[in-house]
Each structure stands twice: as C-alpha cells, then as structure tokens.
Amino acid sequence: MADAVLGIIGGSGIYDLPGLENSDWITVESPWGTPSDQVRIGEIDGLKIVFLPRHGRGHVYSPTTINYRANIDVMKRCGVTDLLSVSACGSLKEEHAPGTFVLVDQFIDRTIAREKSFFGTGCVAHVSMATPVSPKLVDAVAAAAEAESLGYARGGTYLAMEGPQFSSLAESHLYRSWGCDVIGMTNMPEAKLAREAEICYATVAMVTDYDSWHPDHGEVDIQAIIRVLHDNAENAQRLVARVARDLPREHQSCPAGSDTALEFAFMTAPEKRDPELVAKLDAVAGRVLNRPS
C-alpha cells in the first residue's frame, strides 16, 4: 500500500496554505504546459502536502485560461494520491447559505472552451465519471468539518459554467430547475482530469452568495463575495489542517475505483499509439501504459 500524499488546490481567496511545516515553493515542469503556479510542498503532522493555487498567487488566471491538464499532471508528478479541491461557488438552494461548505458528489459540465482530457487522437481512453468523487476522502472531509464545528452539507450537484461572467437570472432559474445545489466555474474539467490521472478527488464548495435567483439578495455582489471569501479562507485552512492530521498515512483504495480508473480504459491498440502522446502521459497513465505486455 502506498503512502498517502494529500494535494490541495486552492480556489479564489486561497493562494497559500499557512501551517505547513518544512515547506518550500518549487517549480514542477509539465509536458502539458505551464501550471497555474509553483507548488508549495511541506507536511502537516508528518503527512506530505502539495498545495497549488488554482488561479496563481495574485489571482492571475481566469477560470477559462487555467491550464487544468498541467495542474493535475503536476499533482500526479508530486505523488498526490488524494486531491482536495477548495472552491468558491454560488448557492442554488435556500438551505446552502453563504459560508456553508457543500461536499458535492456530482457535477454537470457546462464549460465549452477548455481542454478536458489527457487522451485523444493516437491514444484514446474512456474513464467512467459515474462516481466522480472518492467516498473515503469525502468521509475524511466530513469528519474534519464536524470536528472543527464548520457548517457543511454532504452531497449535492455542482454546475460548472464557463464564466467569467456570473449567471443571468434565466440561467440561474434553469440550473435550479435541474436540481443543482451550487454553481461554480472551476471544478470542470478538473474533476474529469483527476479521474483520468487516477487521483482520488473531492470538492469543498464554499458558498459565497445566492447566485442571481434569490428574491431577497438580487444579483451577485462582488464586494459581498470578497467579504465571505475572507471568512471562508480561514475556515478552509482549519478544515484542511484537520483532514491532514486525521487522514490515514497509508493510501486507502477507493471503493469508487478512482485510483484504478484507467485499468480497462484504453481503446487504441498498443502498436497504433502515438509515441509523443504516450510520452506526455508518463505520469498520468504510466501505471498502465508502462506495464509489460
């Protein structure tokens, strides 16, 4: 059984992770291009932590221009087994008030301008997204939220929109009619790519506002969002630290198959695979591609 390594991708308002011991920012190269930033590698109570600010320090990248493939590839190269996405979002349900952490378990992808897979012409593979988050990692996050007395809701659907604009009122009502719980701009294709990289993934969707549907709140107020972001950032740091302290030091196999998602995913015959693409997949898919025939 492999040692557990906890990756953290920090969203809006979370550009660093205080409390890491023996830590340093380092540059990790990726064949998929430039990741959002350097990664900060350290430890909490002896558990290796790899932190990456999704938008870069100083919030450089918009949701559309983030290089999601490079970010996930870098996490894989750093040995991450369990990846926790911390993301700001809007609420599509009355009960998910600003400040609530929603531990989502499903996604609807409405993004249209992003590279969504490591695979393609010359090396085709299909992974199941039926269960996109790792139940054991969600268990660990829920237990940490309980221990830290943080308001959270377990389960729900995250609607990923392209952005960078917020929803129109009609869109907000449409997504509510679909039964979605929260809306954000960054968890797709991140969750898909984590699955392709065989990394156990979970999302903490931090509610900042009621999107534009709520009759008592009106349109999204960016200044109000920033105020909630600051409060959420402090709570998120407490949550991450507790997850790190309590996570088993040996990586537990995923009951949803997150860590074996590529086992039967490849369609392209070995002799037909593009050598250049296969070389780029060394970290993401090396477990399967490098196995003796």
211 is catalytic: yes
Residue 282 labeled ligand binder: no
Residue 75 labeled ligand binder: no
Residue 256 labeled ligand binder: no
Burial of 290 (0-12, 13-18, 19+ CB in 10 A): exposed
- H helix runs in the chain, sequence order: 68-77, 135-147, 169-177, 187-196, 222-246, 275-280, 282-289
Find the range with the poorest average confidence among 187-201, 211-225, 273-287: 211-225
Q: Which of 37, 109, 181, 209 is catalytic?
A: 209
pLDDT in tens, 84-120: 999 999 999 999 999 999 999 999 999 999 999 999 9
Joined tokens for residue 95: 């009960």
pLDDT in tens, 258-270: 999 999 999 999 9
Closest CA to 53 of 70, 35, 32: 35
Q: Is the pLDDT of residue 227 over 80?
A: no
Closest CA to 8 of 222, 194, 252: 194
Domains of the chain, each with CATH number or no CATH? 5-289 (3.40.50.1580)
Identify how many contiguous H helices and E strands the chain contains and give both numbers.
Answer: 7, 11
Residue 185 labeled ligand binder: yes
pLDDT on residue 293: 63
pLDDT on residue 265: 97
209 is catalytic: yes
pLDDT in tens, 173-183: 999 999 999 99
Residue 55 labeled ligand binder: yes
Q: Which of 37, 105, 211, 259 is catalytic?
A: 211
Per cent of the chain over pLDDT 90 is: 83
